[in-house]
Structure 1
């Protein structure tokens, strides 16, 4: 299937949409370029398929970021941001789980743990907090990508910065410093309580970031290519564990803070004989079992008689029932109504695979058919015509205008037309999807249609087969039909491309009531044809110069006669 593969001869940019470096560039320039690529959009990021429909849109976003004054801001779809998400999840999970477990035996913490904690964990957490000031984000409402530093900093300061800063243990370190300098004085028990209280505050700040951790975990699993059901199961397991872990710490720390490790005989900690446990892990495991039993309402592991402990167990039982109901609703929502379009899509994909296997189609054709199906339906399967026919005329016009938003933004003529005229033009257009390598317009063909690119990239080629340029979202082609009947240039799809087209005479009828717009349209397509002619002349001159240099022998090395070496 090599004939369907587009071999681009335009080499002014690399695969990342950046200007190519010279072959003899210094090593540190290459290193700086590779580091810079970590800040830019990663085309393999799972969100790229949701936010951008084709490669040209991804490259346009890369160029927008690279050419902006904020080119060193970490893009939310970059590889570096994905690494930050993994590091954030690991660091906050460590603080949330491991450090709280060790707090149960606060005064017997191993020296090796303290060295790792203060020399590695805390500095890493400080670096992460600092990097979040330079990390862009995706607005949840508008789905716009924000990379302006001022907006990023203000948003972070207003939301999570204070809680993230608490997790760096600055409060605990201040208390330790005050104790060491004898600013904070009192009894030994009071000093211990201050140390414990400051660390509990730092650990409590991690609870604010639970859903951020789960969101980062889901993003990481999606980038690894795991399926929707697998991600859902793993997220539910982690979420359930975190909630039970919070209550396991609660059932221990509430009596501990009240009775200062001298539990009365009525306490469940006395019934469990926790003073006989040899490690903090045994104590944590016992607390985890008690919290689990009340969270799920399975059984009562110990008799709860103290009022403070009863309040804790009532709270755990109440939250556990609510969580179970919400979890069940999520399961039904995923497998039920929300999964109808996905299940139809999967059934259609299965039918397509069976059809291709029955027809014994070649591998290359199978890949093209699969890409076409994926591009057209975008993971959903529904009857679009039935939905559109059920809408009112006003809603239908608004829908057409929204679908052609890129055309309207990039084509000057459309921006100057009234909404009613523009909606009528879009409604008259037909659409077609082309796979990479498909010839959309042949050179010399007789056409009466005008084409607009909805999404994708096409290559313009002259009659000698020389590639002149690429056209992307919102641009038009086949405008030479306004001057002559036959097309001057061929147009080939570089990637999966959706094209809108309509009869040129029908298009001109819509422009008749607007003579200024019509005159500007004629002027614009004449300018485009003139640019293509300049590109064609330049490409022809370059090829002639190359042939003459080859004929003169200035490019290839001249043959030299070397002495023949005889074997001994």
Structure 2
């Protein structure tokens, strides 16, 4: 099930009402047994995957190459890691994912399985020890097959390097590490893993070529780290790592004369890959820190200016906290000038962007069912989108206001002027009907969490709906029904009955009833 406290989940949905809607969608769907990408179990699987694959990528290239596994390493590698890989491969068939292009959360069994089969399943299977359990028709074929598996085993592990780094970045986000620090750390890990792979390859290839007949001009013999010299593993690894770094970054040809063809080919490949990777790394770093880093720096600068403003005007801490939370939700820690961006676009594009942002109310608000699709878009274009911070009072009991409010995302509490909370309204609900239809406002509306609300003057609203009497009649009935509900809930609350308990259990409330300031 979705974990509402997951930071990635909060960043993706922005408000509790959307998180609860996703929880209900997952639980009520036929795929409720699937693992949701924002669940605690998914996080545990990601941590397990990170540990298992990092272990294998670091040690598997060295086993039967630089070191011989001994107790307890052989137990961990042959049993614990093999079993862990098998379980993880099985779980991946039931692990939902997020389609980054459409921002769709996919938990459909067939789509999840098909995606895994056509992406990483073959590599994960080849990188595991499961093929060793396969019964081959003959010993010669078994020997050739196992030898092939041994050589493709490690490269298949490294296919998942970007996945491991993405998980590491997600874990850093959970621990609230800054984005720039996370990126730098991931680049360092990625670079080291590539160097480590070529370091082990540089020691493996001569062993495969020479077996026991070592020529005196081999660089391993010159360095006295060949298998026949019985040298400690840290010395072998240190010499191989130093030579690999020299060729990988093009810093130096090293201190050894390379005469054997197989060793020269290895170092040429290392140098070529290292040059290409260095160019890619520099371009990627400049691109990210020039674009992503710029928006993040602008956000930090804006927050610093906001804090200075709060100190200068001696604003109370509670108000200051609300202002900072507003900025966090509005900009998601990346500041941009929305007005300048929209101003540079054509009128048609601006209209399309606005209609896209209003897709929730267009889909969930019942009154729009009485209007043709083109007229719905025309009505929405008359509205204005406002973002309210937690604690903001939209209107109070007895107040004269001129607007209709349509909740696009977020949660708003309705209560009496005495502070008695009655119920909550979420995405797609209309507020302000009592004043517009009945001529008076009975109750107070307070924002619970940062909410996006579309606002329209009630005269413009009902003038537009004048040509649709069914829609006006529906809104009138809705206002009368809502006024009766408010009175019923207020009477129950004043009599000491917990009127919110039923709504809380049904999911209509996000939290327990509490006393809120219902007046300015």
Interval of TM-score (by shorter of Structure 1 and Structure 2): 0.7 to 0.9
- Match of 1:483, SS? helix
Measured after TM superposition, the shift of residue 356 of structure 1 is 1.8
Would the aligned equivalents of 2:385 and 2:453 in 1 still touch at CA under 8 Å? yes
Would the aligned equivalents of 1:251 and 1:312 in 2 still touch at CA under 8 Å? yes
Give the whole-Å Cα distance in 1 for the aligned partners of 2:76 and 2:334: 48
1:151 has 2:111 as partner: yes
Measured after TM superposition, the shift of residue 339 of structure 1 is 2.9
- Match of 1:255, SS? helix
Give the whole-Å Cα distance in 2 for the aligned partners of 1:245 and 1:408: 54
Which deviates more, 298-307 or 384-393? 384-393
Q: 2:69 aligns with which of 109, 112, 133?
A: 109
Give the whole-Å Cα distance in 1 for the aligned partners of 2:336 and 2:492: 52
Measured after TM superposition, the shift of residue 545 of structure 1 is 7.5
Would the aligned equivalents of 1:421 and 1:510 in 2 still touch at CA under 8 Å? no
The aligned runs of 1:347-426 (5 Å cut-off) are 347-414=301-368, 417-418=371-372, 421-426=375-380
1:54 has 2:15 as partner: yes
Residue 42 (structure 1) aligns with: 3
The aligned runs of 1:82-101 (5 Å cut-off) are 82-101=43-62
Q: 1:271 aligns with which of 189, 207, 222?
A: 222
Which deviates more, 436-445 or 274-283? 274-283
Which deviates more, 109-118 or 363-372? 109-118
**Higher Rg:** 1
Question: Closer, same or farther in 2 for the Cα pair 1:247/1:540, shift >3 Å?
Answer: same
- Match of 1:278, SS? coil
Question: Closer, same or farther in 2 for the Cα pair 1:420/1:161, shift >3 Å?
Answer: same
- Match of 2:202, SS? helix
Residue 487 (structure 2) aligns with: 536
- Match of 2:456, SS? strand
Residue 505 (structure 2) aligns with: none
Would the aligned equivalents of 1:101 and 1:281 in 2 still touch at CA under 8 Å? no
Give the whole-Å Cα distance in 2 for the aligned partners of 1:250 and 1:346: 45
Measured after TM superposition, the shift of residue 266 of structure 1 is 2.9
TM-score scaled by length of structure 2: 0.88
Measured after TM superposition, the shift of residue 123 of structure 1 is 1.0
1:314 has 2:274 as partner: no
Residue 324 (structure 1) aligns with: 278
TM-score scaled by length of structure 1: 0.81
Residue ranges of structure 2 left out of the alignment (5+ in a row): 499-520
Residue 121 (structure 1) aligns with: 81
Residue 342 (structure 1) aligns with: 296
Would the aligned equivalents of 2:389 and 2:450 in 1 still touch at CA under 8 Å? yes
Give the whole-Å Cα distance in 2 for the aligned partners of 1:409 and 1:282: 66
Residue 200 (structure 1) aligns with: 151
Measured after TM superposition, the shift of residue 472 of structure 1 is 0.8
The CA deviation string for residues 130-172 of structure 1, in whole angstroms up to 9 with x for no partner, is 1111111011211110111221112112221122122330223
Give the whole-Å Cα distance in 1 for the aligned partners of 2:95 and 2:385: 39
Give the whole-Å Cα distance in 1 for the aligned partners of 2:290 and 2:485: 58
Give the whole-Å Cα distance in 1 for the aligned partners of 2:418 and 2:305: 42
Question: Closer, same or farther in 2 for the Cα pair 1:194/1:493, shift >3 Å?
Answer: closer
Q: 1:285 aligns with which of 238, 247, 253?
A: 238
Give the whole-Å Cα distance in 1 for the aligned partners of 2:178 and 2:352: 35
Give the whole-Å Cα distance in 2 for the aligned partners of 1:214 and 1:492: 42
Measured after TM superposition, the shift of residue 81 of structure 1 is 0.9
Q: 1:74 aligns with which of 35, 41, 54?
A: 35
Residue ranges of structure 1 left out of the alignment (5+ in a row): 1-39, 548-568
Give the whole-Å Cα distance in 2 for the aligned partners of 1:151 and 1:310: 46
Give the whole-Å Cα distance in 1 for the aligned partners of 2:362 and 2:394: 22
State the aligned residue count. 495
The aligned runs of 1:134-213 (5 Å cut-off) are 134-174=94-134, 183-184=138-139, 197-213=148-164
Would the aligned equivalents of 1:400 and 1:423 in 2 still touch at CA under 8 Å? no
Measured after TM superposition, the shift of residue 453 of structure 1 is 1.2
Measured after TM superposition, the shift of residue 443 of structure 1 is 1.1
Residue 4 (structure 1) aligns with: none
Measured after TM superposition, the shift of residue 282 of structure 1 is 2.5
Would the aligned equivalents of 1:244 and 1:288 in 2 still touch at CA under 8 Å? yes
- Match of 1:104, SS? coil
- Match of 2:176, SS? coil
Give the whole-Å Cα distance in 2 for the aligned partners of 1:445 and 1:338: 45
